[in-house]
């Protein structure tokens, strides 16, 4: 995705021997609703708080959204591989917010996991600092209604979730054209931010508290 105006958290046990070989990176497995894929987040130590934010968004924010907001992604999530590796970086050299990795271009980690499980493992990457700065719809009028730190966190979580789902859609449906995928994700971003801002105090319903400090 190019930059434009666009369960449970636990350490994996079965996969430990593979994950420990990745020096300098940490991993967290996020297990959401049964019909959704497992997300294996792989990140540098400075990305721990970002990984926690993604985990909370996947486990709490997305399942709690009104059906009318999340309906465009319900079927797509069921069509993904059983596990998706999400590689987190602060930035991509190409300045993109994220990519889906077509079959044959995955990292060594993903290939090993696929070989070990005998199944398909998908892979995407996300660039969190680029996503933090991405504001397709700043919604300045709504932002004025909440304290700035609260809005900044809501905006960051919404943007991370939006780009995550954008790349997952490309992974699930490589034939979908970028313009159509972007149209869906832009609408999702707008609707989710409106809904989150409409919940006074960014309620625990969306898993917004407590929060680690973001890098």
Q: How confident is the model at residue 211 (pLDDT cuts 50, 70, 90)?
A: very low
DSSP character at residue 118: T
Residues 6+ apart with CB under 8 A from 107: 85, 87, 101, 123
Model pTM? 0.81
Cα distances (Å, whole numbers) of residue 159 to 4, 10, 102: 12, 24, 23
Distance between start and end Cα atoms, the chain: 22
Q: How confident is the model at residue 61 (pLDDT cuts 50, 70, 90)?
A: very high
Provide mean pLDDT across the span 65-84: 91
Provide mean pLDDT across the span 37-61: 95
Instruction: Give pLDDT tens digits for 86-144.
Output: 999 999 888 899 999 988 888 989 999 999 988 899 999 999 999 998 877 655 545 54
- Strand-pair partners of 100: 124
- Spans of all domains in the chain: 8-206
The pLDDT, as a whole number, for residue 142 is 53
Between residues 124 and 149, the one the model is more confident about: 124
Q: How confident is the model at residue 12 (pLDDT cuts 50, 70, 90)?
A: very low
Tell me, rounded to whole angstroms, the distance of Cα 185 from its chain centroid. 12
């Amino acid at each position: 995705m190019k930059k434009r105006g666009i369960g449970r958290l636990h350490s994996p046990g079965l996969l430990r021997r593979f994950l420990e070989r990745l020096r300098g990176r940490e991993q967290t497995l996020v297990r959401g609703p049964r019909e959704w894929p497992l997300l294996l987040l792989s990140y540098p130590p400075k990305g721990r708080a970002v990984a926690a934010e993604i985990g909370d968004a996947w486990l709490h924010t997305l399942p709690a959204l009104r059906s009318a907001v999340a309906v465009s992604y319900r079927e797509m999530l069921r069509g993904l591989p059983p596990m998706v590796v999400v590689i987190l970086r602060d930035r991509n050299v190409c300045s993109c917010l994220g990519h889906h990795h077509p079959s044959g271009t995955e990292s060594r980690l993903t290939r090993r996991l696929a070989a070990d499980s005998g199944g398909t493992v998908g892979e995407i990457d996300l660039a969190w600092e680029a996503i933090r700065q991405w504001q397709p719809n700043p919604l300045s009028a709504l932002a004025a209604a909440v304290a700035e730190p609260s809005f900044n966190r809501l905006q960051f979580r919404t943007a991370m979730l939006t780009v995550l789902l954008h790349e997952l859609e490309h992974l699930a449906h490589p034939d979908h054209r970028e313009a159509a995928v972007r149209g869906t994700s832009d609408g999702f971003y707008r609707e989710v931010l409106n809904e989150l801002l409409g919940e006074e105090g960014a309620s625990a319903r969306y898993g917004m508290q407590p929060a680690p400090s973001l890098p």
